[in-house]
Chain A
Amino acid sequence: MAAHCESGTLTALLKHKGLEITEPMIFGIGSGLYFGYLSRTPNLSFPMFILRTKPGKLRKKIARRTDIKFNTQRFKNQDKAALELDSLISEGIPVACQVDFYYMDYIPQWERVHANIHFITIVGKEGDEYIVSDSYYPKLARIHKDNLRKARFAGGYLAPKGFMYYIESVPENIDYKKLIPVAIKNTINNMIGVQPPFIGVRGIRTFAKKLQGWPQLTRDIDHLSHEVMKINVFLEDQGTGGGGFRFLYATFLRQASEILSNSALADMSKKMMEIGDGWRNISYFAAKIGKNRDLGSDKLLELSNLIHERADAEEHFYKELRIVVSNI
């Protein structure tokens, strides 16, 4: 298992290739931490927020920064995609595939939603079933070939189009001391740099503000409750490692401080952990008011204020982190 599907899949493939690396390190040097409030994306039935960079970006940044060579492929022809996958796994090469999470029928039904942004690793095939390693499932799972085909070729937003990749080569040495400051600066820029108002810390504030208008966007109280409770799911359950990826990033900062022998970074990791605790409190609060249908304007304002507090805390944090990194 892993905290997050994309970083977990990458970590597993790299470990299989002989590189000892942790999931937080992958997440951190790929500058995965992010915030975006998406209210105008035409494919979304309701506004949503994202806490990590666009799917695929993590891998691309890792490739660019570390010189790890990935072989990536997309397909128009579904039969060809299946043949290519079969050929690779028959050679013993584990292959990561982008899929629609809904079709992962080994996952409990209540978890499965249509989201074309899930990554799994195919490690084998027996008869009509593929053997799958999924970051969100505690053991190896099996999926029927027809289901995998549907999942790989589901249409819609961020359609996978059969996308798959495997690792061709890993460099002998990765200069983490050089990479870490670059990656942290990138994350700081994502969060407090010049960004549109729905991205980064400004995005958190937009989320806090727009949240109060959610009752006007919902069909009924059940719908509003469902959307408010999804705040908890996005922050905790959908592969974040808890606290909306903040705990994962705190662990990265801690590991980075050890590599760089930098006590200031260790202090920052502690602060990031506390920021994550604040997000976790928000997720508990959202779940509670959602369940109780206690969704009047006063409660939404309270929730909004909690989110504003996170924006302030994060803004202060990244400004401090910028100073720490500039001194490395």
Chain B
Amino acid sequence: MKEKDAYIDYEPQQLIMYVEKEDGSFGPIQTGSYISKNYLDDFWEKMLRLRNNLLEQLKKNEITPVYFYKLIHDFNDVELARRTGIPVFKVKRHQKVNSFKSIKLSDLQKYAYAFDVPVSNLFQAIVVEDNENRAETDKNIQPIIVKQTRTENPFLVITKIESNKK
């Protein structure tokens, strides 16, 4: 790769690339990410579509929150089992709507930890209408901010909705 062909102007995601320099030597340059600069909008569209499709299925009680978050985090059953410490057969069972009804609270806690969400988020979807259809990169200009703060009580989270004063 020639140095002149390697520069990509994309400040949000920088990386180091090794190139052939003008003088024929090889060395590193700092440049931007090609795929993020050119295709990030497509990535967000796909993620949003996946999330919305799954949410629709969740609303119709066709899937369980475990299945929802498993796909969002791109885990498979074995990986989820290893991350939660719950046996694979149970992880499979917890993705079935009827079996999910009898899930133990302690298992929910393990899932919530692996999915990096409060336990309460396994039973609710927080949707802010004004923030919809904004790219994730525009988060700092979203008019409403939702902040979730964990407490010492593992089952309680404080959800605060604020207007963005920036």
Contacts and interface: CB of A to CB of B under 8 A. Distances in A.
Interface of A: 1-3, 8, 23-24, 42-45, 102-103, 108-111, 113-114, 135-136, 138, 150, 154-157, 159, 222, 225-226, 229, 232-233, 236-237, 239, 241-243, 247-248, 250-251, 254-255, 269, 273, 276-277, 280, 283-284, 287, 290-291
B75 A23 contact: no
Contacts, number: 133
Interface string B27-66: 1101001111011101110100110000000000000000
A102 B38 CA distance: 23
Given A241-B18, A242-B19, A247-B1, A43 B40 contact: no
Contacts of A114: 73-75, 79
B133 to A, nearest CB: 17
Nearest to A222: B46
B6 interface: yes
A220 to B, nearest CB: 9
Contacts of A138: 14, 30
A247 B18 contact: yes
B154 interface: no
B26 A243 contact: no
Nearest to B44: A110
A254 B16 CA distance: 18
Given A1-B15, A242-B6, A237 B35 contact: yes
Given A229-B43, A280-B1, 4 more contacts: A157-B79, A232-B35, A273-B1, A291-B42
Interface residues of B, number: 44
Contacts of A157: 79, 82
B16 A155 contact: no
Contacts of A226: 43, 46
Contacts of B76: 42-45
Nearest to A276: B1
A110 B135 CA distance: 11
A185 B113 CA distance: 45
Nearest to A24: B18
B20 interface: yes
Contact of B17 (A155, A159, A225, A242): A242
Contacts of B27: 251
Contact of B18 (A156, A251, A283): A251
B114 A155 contact: yes
Contacts of A290: 39, 42
